[in-house]
């Protein structure tokens, strides 16, 4: 939440910060499982030490990257704008003024309906869209965005 807090203008207040659903952590968990399986499997089969290291380190590095990526995502609303920030080292932001919002749409797959996550697309005037992916409880997020009182 550091970017959203740092970028507040005069009179602007944070309305809500939106969390990612636990389902978005599955790729990271799978990389860790692959690393553990590769490590334990390397004792069964005679493998050189450099091969053991590479088949364990590569999935762990991918899991670390996924963890950092997920931690770098900030998404929320203030009383003046909608903010989505991504980027581990660099920073990529998508922002939309609240008075430019035209529609808030929910996109949920079958798994999304079962487990309670989905994508929220906020459409503004013109061709601008802000998409919150794998958001937890998308119906509540939609209600939250639509209930912001614009200053």
Q: Specify the pLDDT at position 42.
A: 62
SS (H, E, C) the chain: CHHHHHCCCCCCCEEEECCECHHHHHHHHHHHHHHHHHHHHHHHCCCCHHHHHHHHHHHHHHHHHHHHHHHHCEEEEECCEEEEEECCCCCEEEEEEHHHEEEEEEECCHHHHHHCEEEEEEEECCCCEEEEEEEECHHHHHHHHHCCCCC
Architecture of the 2-20+77-146 domain: Roll (2.30)
Q: What percent of the chain has pLDDT over 70?
A: 96
- The band of 128, judged by pLDDT with boundaries at 50, 70 and 90, is confident
Residue 44 pLDDT class (50, 70, 90 cuts): low
Q: Where are the domains of the chain?
A: 2-20+77-146, 25-68
pTM: 0.83
Average pLDDT, the chain: 90
**Confidence category of residue 53, pLDDT binned at 50, 70, 90:** confident
Is the pLDDT assigned to residue 38 strictly greater than 90?
A: no
């Amino acid at each position: 939440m550091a970017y959203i807090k740092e970028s507040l203008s005069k009179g602007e207040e944070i309305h809500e910060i939106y969390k990612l659903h636990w389902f978005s952590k599955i790729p990271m968990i799978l990389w860790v499982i692959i690393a553990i399986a590769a490590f334990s499997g390397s004792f069964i089969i005679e493998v050189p030490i450099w091969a053991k290291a590479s088949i364990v380190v590569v999935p762990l590095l991918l899991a670390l990257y996924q963890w950092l990526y997920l931690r770098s995502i900030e998404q929320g609303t203030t009383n003046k704008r909608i903010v989505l920030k991504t980027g581990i080292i660099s920073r990529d932001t998508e922002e939309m003024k609240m008075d430019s919002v035209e529609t808030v749409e929910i996109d949920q797959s079958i798994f999304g309906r079962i487990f309670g996550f989905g994508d929220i697309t906020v459409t503004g005037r013109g061709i601008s869209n802000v998409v919150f992916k794998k958001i937890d409880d998308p119906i509540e997020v939609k209600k939250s965005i639509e209930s912001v009182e614009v200053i």
